[in-house]
Amino acid sequence: MKAFLRSAAMQAALGWLLGVYLRLILRTVRWRHENLAPIDPHLADRSQGVVALLWHGRIPLSLAVAPQMWRKQAKVLVSPSADGEFIARALAMSRFPSIRASSAKPGDAAKMRQAVAAIREATAWVAAGGGLVVTPDGPRGPNEVIQPGALQIARRTGAPVLLMGIAARPALRLERTWDRVMFGLPFGRGAVVWDGPVFVPTDADEAAISALITDWSARLSTATRRAETLVGHTG
């Protein structure tokens, strides 16, 4: 069954279905944006890239930020796994090409080379003025804990980092998935709460990066909880 689900034909079908769903949610949900004013100048600046973060469990709601991120011709950092394949296909349907990157386990030289190449590609893209959307707790978690890759890109480029908390109601939340993924339903309400811009100092060492990870993870979760409150989620 797993081999069937990860076959090329099934990945194409799943990608198409998710792509249609993403666009349906963008067009039918009444989206509200909070705290966008401090972010807008960075989206309008064609000379500087941005790194935008949202939690992995909000990928089904991610096109809520499409009008903003289209302005930066954003690309998305997506896992090269089979599961990441249909997500990449779905996002490509809405003009979000992917850069395929993932964390590599110690000792896996092939995946390490792939990860390094993807980070270099992403860094070059941001340095050239492009936008990069990252789910920094993916693809394996832990849930709502930022991994350091996105911060390393921001440090190397000096790009502002934008935090995006997203929620919708009514919605289905799959509580047994590691990321408690949320699927919004058409014709409901949605909210995006922006935080930032925040920056990684170019001279940040490992301890400084670790402190930022703790702080920004909390801030991104706070923005996400605020978005949930705005649409009426109570717990």
Domain count for the chain, please give it: 1
pLDDT of 104 higher than 60: no
pLDDT at 8: 74
Per the structure, the complete domain to which residue 181 belongs is given by 2-231
Query: Cα–Cα distance between 127 and 208 in angstroms, integer?
Result: 22
Question: pLDDT tens digit string along 198-224?
Answer: 999 999 999 999 999 999 999 999 999
Average pLDDT over residues 88-103: 87
pLDDT of 108 higher than 70: no
Q: What is the mean pLDDT of the chain?
A: 91
- 16 closest CA partner among 119, 133, 24, 173: 24
Average pLDDT over residues 79-91: 83
Query: Cα–Cα distance between 49 and 24 in angstroms, integer?
Result: 28
- 115 closest CA partner among 100, 133, 129: 100
pLDDT at 86: 86
pLDDT at 79: 81
Question: pLDDT tens digit string along 136-152?
Answer: 998 888 999 999 989 99
pLDDT at 81: 73
pLDDT at 138: 80
- 116 closest CA partner among 169, 133, 124: 124
Q: For residue 53, what are the β-bridge partners?
A: 134, 163
Read off the CATH number of the domain in which 60 is found. 3.40.1130.10
pLDDT of 5 higher than 80: no
Least confident stretch, 23-37, 105-119, 157-171: 105-119
pLDDT at 139: 83
pLDDT at 2: 56
pLDDT of 101 higher than 90: no
Q: For residue 167, what are the β-bridge partners?
A: 191
